[in-house]
C-alpha cells in the first residue's frame, strides 16, 4: 500500500455508537407520519419501557462489541440486508448500470468493445491491488476534503456470493495474485467459457486483438449443438435457499465442482448477448416518447435479460458486464460486496478511458503480445441429473414471470436541475426526497417508510444506513399542497421550509453515523445472540412498518450519462433512483404490474407535477425573502 493512502485510511474514525435515547426519539419520530396516533402512543410507551429495561443492557453489550470489531454496524448490516435475505438476486437486489448506447456495425465491433472492458478491468484491478487508485474524497465545511473508506474496492474482482441454505457467504477468491493465471467467464448463448486474461507468474496481458479473436472463438463454439450445455445460469436467479440446495447436489460431481470453481475465482463475467429485443410494456398513461421507451427497454435488458438473456448471466458474481449486438452496454452488480457509488466511479472511468483512446493507440496496443501466450478459451461443462434439470426449468419459468411483472420506467425531468435548487440554498438531495414524499401522497393519500441509502464510508469499513424522509413536517406540508386544508401561499412556504430543514437535519445526522436504523438492528441481533426473551419493542407492528419500505430510493450522481436502477424491495412498493444534473434530473422508477396499488409511469409523471409545484413554492419563497430584505433595509434606513 502506498504510504500516503495507508496513512489516509488509517486516520478514518471508527463509527460511533449512537446514544440510545436519541435513537429511540428518532425512531418514534420516524413513525409519526406513517402509523395512526393510537399506534404511535403504544409504540412510544414500548420505547420508554425498552429504554428503562432491556435496552440499556443491550446498549452496554453493543458498546463492548464495538470495541472488538472493525465496524459494529457493518458487522450486523451485511447479514441482515443481504446474506441472510433469501430473495432472488435479479431485480430484487442487484442494480443495473446502463452506459450510453454504442453503435456496432458488426459482431467484431461488439467483441472489441467487450475486449476494451476486460482490459480496463485488468488495469483497474492492478490499481486496486497496488493501492494506487486515488481515494474517494467528499467536500467538507473546513475546506479540506474528507477521505472515504476504500475497503470495498478490494471486493470488486475477488467477490462472489455463494448461496447458503441458512446464510449466504461473501466469498473472496485467493487465486487472484501474481502467482496465478487470471480468468474471465464469458457467457454467450447461455453457455459459459473460461477465458485466460493473464499469464501465470507474469504481468503479460492479452492484446485487444487477441481478446477479440478469443471471444470470436467462443461465439463460434456456441454453434456446436452436439456439446450444448444446459442453461445452468438460471439457477442463480432462484431463491437463495433453493439455489443452495441445487448447488450442494451439483458439487457431488467433480465436473460441476471444477466449473463452479472457475466461476467463483473469475475476475468478472462478460455477457455477450444477441440483440436486446427488450419487451416494452404497453403503458396507457405515458406520452409516446420513443427515446424514453428505448432507454427503458435497454435498462430492462441489463437488469434482468428481458427473458431472452436471463440464462446468459451468473448473478452470484459481483461484476457482470453486458454487451449486446445492437449496442446496449452495462453492468449488473451483486450488491452485498460494494455500494453503487463505487461501481459508478468504475463506469465513469471506463467511459473516460475508452473515449480518450486514439486509433493509433489501439493499433499499438494490439501488437504487444502473442496470441499463443494464452490458452484457448475452454467451455464449462456440467453433469446435471433430473432433479437439477427440473430446477433449471422451474427457475426459467419464475424468471420469465418476474421479467414480465417488472414495471420499469425511465423519466427525464427537463424544466430545471440541481442548479435551480441550489440557487435557493437547498440541498438537491433533500429537495428531491421531499418531492418524492409529495408525489407518494398525491398518488396514495398517505406517507410510508422511505429508504434512501446513506454512505457511511467516512468511517473505517463503513457501508450504509438509511436517510428517512417520511416526517411529520413532510406530512403537514404535502397535505396542504394537496388541498387537505386552506392555507395561504405564505403558509405553504413556511411549511416547506420546515420540511426541508428537517430533511437536511436527518441527512446530516445519518451520514455522521447517528441514524436509528443500524443502531436498532444491532440491538435486535444482540438480543438474539444473547438469548434475550422476546422483546415487545421489536415485536411491535410499528417496528415492522418502520422497515416496510414501500419507497426505496437512492441518489447516484454522474455527468457521464450512466443510468442506474433497481427493482422495488416489497411487492406493493416503488424503487426510485435519481441523478440530479445541472439542468435536468433523471429518474428510474420501478414497481410490479401485479400490484394494483402501483404504476411506475403514473408515479413518474406525478413526480414531474410535484417538481413543478415546488418550483412555484421556491419562486414564492424567493419573493417573500426579497420583500423581507427590502423591509429590513427600510427599517435600518429609518433608524439611521
Q: From start to end of 457-516, where are the E strands?
A: 464-466
Q: How far is CA 213 from CA 270, 272, 322, 579, in A?
A: 15, 14, 18, 38
| E strand or H helix that includes residue 169 | strand 169-172
Q: From start to end of 86-155, where are the E strands?
A: 96-98, 137-138, 146-147
CB 203 within 8 A of CB 182: no
Q: Cβ atoms within 10 A of the Cβ of 370, count?
A: 11
Measured CA to CA, the distance from residue 210 to residue 105 in angstroms comes to 20
CA 97-101-103 angle, 5° bins = 145
Identify the burial level of 360 via C-beta atoms within 10 angstroms of its C-beta, where 0-12 means exposed, 13-18 middle and 19 or more buried: exposed
Out of 335, 411, 460, 519, which one is annotated catalytic?
A: 335
Q: From start to end of 447-584, where are the E strands?
A: 450-455, 464-466, 551-555, 563-565, 574-580
Q: How far is CA 433 from the centre of its chain?
A: 17
Measured CA to CA, the distance from residue 538 to residue 407 in angstroms comes to 33
Residue partners of 581: CB distance under 8 A and separation at least 6: 417, 418, 557, 559
Phi, psi of 50 (to 5 degrees): -65, -45
Q: Cβ atoms within 10 A of the Cβ of 291, count?
A: 9
Residue partners of 438: CB distance under 8 A and separation at least 6: 477, 478, 481, 482, 610, 613, 614
Q: Which three cell numbers stand for residue 8?
A: 489516509
304 included as an active-site residue = no
Q: Which three cell numbers stand for residue 453?
A: 441509502
Identify the burial level of 168 via C-beta atoms within 10 angstroms of its C-beta, where 0-12 means exposed, 13-18 middle and 19 or more buried: buried
Show which residues are catalytic: 335
Amino acid at each position: 500500500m502506498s504510504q500516503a493512502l495507508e496513512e489516509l485510511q488509517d486516520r478514518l474514525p471508527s463509527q460511533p455508537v449512537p446514544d440510545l435515547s436519541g435513537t429511540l426519539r428518532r425512531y418514534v419520530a420516524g413513525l409519526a407520519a406513517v402509523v395512526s396516533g393510537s399506534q404511535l402512543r403504544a409504540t412510544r410507551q414500548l420505547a420508554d419501557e425498552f429504554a428503562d429495561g432491556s435496552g440499556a443492557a443491550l446498549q452496554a453489550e453493543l458498546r463492548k462489541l464495538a470495541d472488538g470489531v472493525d465496524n459494529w454496524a457493518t458487522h450486523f448490516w451485511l447479514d441482515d440486508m443481504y446474506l441472510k435475505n433469501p430473495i432472488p438476486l435479479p431485480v430484487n437486489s442487484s442494480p443495473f448500470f446502463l452506459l450510453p448506447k454504442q453503435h456496432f456495425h458488426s459482431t467484431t465491433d461488439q467483441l472489441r468493445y467487450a475486449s476494451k472492458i476486460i482490459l480496463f478491468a485488468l488495469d483497474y484491478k492492478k490499481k486496486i491491488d497496488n493501492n494506487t487508485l486515488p481515494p474517494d474524497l467528499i467536500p467538507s465545511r473546513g475546506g479540506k476534503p474528507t477521505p472515504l473508506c476504500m475497503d470495498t474496492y478490494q471486493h470488486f474482482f475477488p467477490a462472489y456470493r455463494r448461496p447458503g441454505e441458512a446464510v449466504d457467504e461473501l466469498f473472496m477468491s485467493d487465486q487472484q495474485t501474481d502467482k496465478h493465471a487470471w480468468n474471465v467467464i464469458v457467457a454467450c448463448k447461455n453457455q459459459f467459457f473460461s477465458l485466460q486474461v493473464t499469464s501465470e507468474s507474469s504481468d503479460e496481458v492479452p492484446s485487444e486483438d487477441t481478446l477479440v479473436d478469443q471471444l470470436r472463438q467462443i461465439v463460434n463454439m456456441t454453434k456446436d449443438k452436439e456439446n450444448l450445455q444446459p442453461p445452468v445460469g438460471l439457477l442463480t436467479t432462484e431463491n437463495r435457499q433453493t439455489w443452495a440446495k441445487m448447488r450442494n447436489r451439483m458439487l457431488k460431481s467433480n465436473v460441476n465442482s471444477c466449473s463452479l470453481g472457475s466461476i467463483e475465482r473469475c475476475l468478472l463475467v462478460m455477457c455477450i448477448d444477441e440483440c436486446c429485443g427488450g419487451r416494452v410494456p404497453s403503458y396507457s398513461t405515458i406520452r409516446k416518447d420513443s427515446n424514453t421507451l428505448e432507454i427503458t427497454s435497454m435498462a430492462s435488458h441489463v437488469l434482468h435479460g428481458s427473458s431472452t438473456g436471463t440464462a446468459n448471466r451468473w448473478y452470484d458474481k459481483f461484476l457482470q458486464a453486458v454487451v449486446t449486438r445492437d449496442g446496449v452496454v452495462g453492468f449488473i452488480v451483486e450488491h452485498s460486496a460494494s455500494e453503487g457509488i463505487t461501481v459508478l466511479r468504475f463506469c465513469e472511468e471506463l467511459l473516460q478511458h475508452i473515449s480518450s483512446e486514439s486509433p493509433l493507440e489501439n493499433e499499438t496496443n494490439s501488437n504487444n503480445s502473442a496470441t499463443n501466450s494464452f490458452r484457448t478459451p475452454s467451455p464449462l461443462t456440467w453433469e446435471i441429473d433430473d432433479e437439477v434439470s427440473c430446477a433449471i426449468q422451474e427457475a426459467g419459468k419464475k424468471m420469465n414471470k418476474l421479467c414480465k411483472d417488472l414495471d420499469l420506467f425511465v423519466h427525464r425531468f427537463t424544466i430545471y436541475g440541481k442548479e435551480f435548487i441550489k440557487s435557493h440554498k437547498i440541498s438537491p438531495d433533500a429537495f428531491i426526497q421531499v418531492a418524492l414524499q409529495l408525489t407518494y401522497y398525491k398518488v396514495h393519500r398517505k406517507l410510508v417508510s422511505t429508504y434512501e441509502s446513506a454512505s457511511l464510508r467516512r468511517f473505517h469499513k463503513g457501508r450504509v444506513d438509511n436517510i428517512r424522509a417520511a416526517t411529520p413536517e413532510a406530512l403537514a406540508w404535502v397535505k396542504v399542497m394537496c388541498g387537505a386544508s386552506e392555507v395561504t401561499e405564505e403558509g405553504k412556504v413556511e411549511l416547506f421550509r420546515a420540511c426541508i430543514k428537517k430533511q437536511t437535519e436527518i441527512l446530516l445526522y445519518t451520514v455522521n453515523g447517528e441514524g436509528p436504523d443500524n443502531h436498532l438492528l444491532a440491538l435486535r441481533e444482540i438480543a438474539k445472540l444473547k438469548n434475550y426473551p422476546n422483546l415487545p419493542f421489536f415485536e411491535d407492528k410499528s417496528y415492522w412498518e418502520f422497515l416496510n419500505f414501500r419507497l426505496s430510493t437512492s441518489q447516484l450522481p454522474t455527468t457521464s450519462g450512466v443510468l442506474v436502477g433497481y427493482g422495488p424491495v416489497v411487492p406493493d412498493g416503488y424503487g426510485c433512483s435519481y441523478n440530479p444534473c445541472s439542468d435536468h434530473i433523471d429518474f428510474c422508477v420501478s414497481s410490479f404490474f401485479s400490484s394494483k396499488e402501483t404504476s411506475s409511469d403514473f408515479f413518474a409523471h406525478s413526480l414531474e407535477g410535484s417538481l413543478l409545484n415546488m418550483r412555484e413554492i421556491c419562486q414564492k419563497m424567493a419573493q417573500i425573502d426579497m420583500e423581507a430584505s427590502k423591509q429590513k433595509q427600510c427599517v435600518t434606513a429609518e433608524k439611521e
